[in-house]
Homo-oligomer: A and B are copies of this chain.
Amino acid sequence: MSLLVVGSVAFDSVETPTERHENVLGGSATFFSYAASFFTPVQLVAAVGEDWPAEHTKLLTDRGIDCSGLETVKGGKTFRWSGKYLPNMNDRETLEVHLNVLGGFDPKLTEAHRRSPFLFLANGSTTTQLSVLRQMTGATLRVADTMDLWIRTQHDQVLELLKEIDGIVMNDSEAKLLCEDENLVRAGHKVLEMGPKFVVIKKGEHGVMFFSKYETYVLPAFPTPDVVDPTGAGDSFAGGMMGYLAEQGNFEPATLKKAMAYGTLVASFNVEAFSLDRMKQITRADLERRMESYQRMLSF
């Protein structure tokens, strides 16, 4: 089934303890849609500036991603983010953010977009997320990401969003901030009480936690020695997860757990190179092979 993602497309400048890459392809909706495209047809809605090279769009359309919703803003510049990873490669500091065209981003969905049964609101202003959500009232499954900035500055809107969506994906530090609770198991249950049918808490290198009224579980990250650039790990996780759900066409507990596992594995590939470089090298067969190792790893 078709999966619609609304979010950011960006130029990233990323510094790790050993390398620095400038102006590489990034953005929450970019990582998400590429990751999801291993599983299902994806429609991308985002805004770019006139500095956006056609080759980036081609990379996505070559994956079968429908980029008709990628709007080029006249006279505008594309969103830019730059960050630096600490030696542990799990924590990072944001050095610069230039919102540019993202500042005025107010997507109007076409009829074709609105018919998509699966929706993911990638990281972005909660106000924008709510506006999109209200254009997608007929969707089968509506999931959102959020971040600390919005929890702090658009707290009421975040609570409103949580009441209206089916699922939420957030980082461990964000769940702790939102719930004012340092225990992630308790925090997960508290977020669940705020409205969504399921809650996914991403713990970076430590994996992911899942909460619904039926079950609570943790899946570890796939252990890779080659962590080159963690940028986009969370977005590619969400892309793998939502892509698999859309492919299966349901969000039953068993499908959801398998989706968590696929998200984990796509993310484990994504961190093995800068930008989308590692995802560009792999196929669905590589994901299936890693899935076999992962399942073997977790059985005893």
Contact = CB atoms under 8 A, between A and B. Distances in A.
Count identical subunits in the complex. 2
Interface in A197-228: 203, 205-207, 209, 215-221, 223-225, 227
B209 A206 contact: no
Interface string A34-61: 0000000000000000000000000000
A293 to B, nearest CB: 9
A184 B227 CA distance: 11
A189 interface: yes
Contact of A297 (B89, B206, B217): B217
Sorting the interface of chain A by its residue count into under 10, 10 to 19, 20 to 34 or 35 or more gives: 35 or more
A2 to B, nearest CB: 24
A87 interface: yes
Given A254-B300, A261-B300, A299-B299, A207 B220 contact: yes
Interface string A105-128: 000000000000000000000000
Contact of A258 (B184, B221, B295, B300): B300
A184 B205 CA distance: 10
Contacts of A205: 184
Contacts of A183: 89, 225, 227
Given A257-B300, A258-B300, A299-B298, A223 B219 contact: no
A278 to B, nearest CB: 16
A223 B185 contact: yes
A233 to B, nearest CB: 14
25 contacts: A87-B182, A88-B182, A89-B182, A89-B183, A183-B225, A184-B205, A185-B223, A185-B224, A203-B206, A206-B207, A207-B220, A209-B223, A216-B223, A217-B298, A218-B220, A218-B221, A218-B223, A218-B297, A219-B220, A219-B298, A220-B220, A257-B300, A258-B300, A295-B299, A295-B300
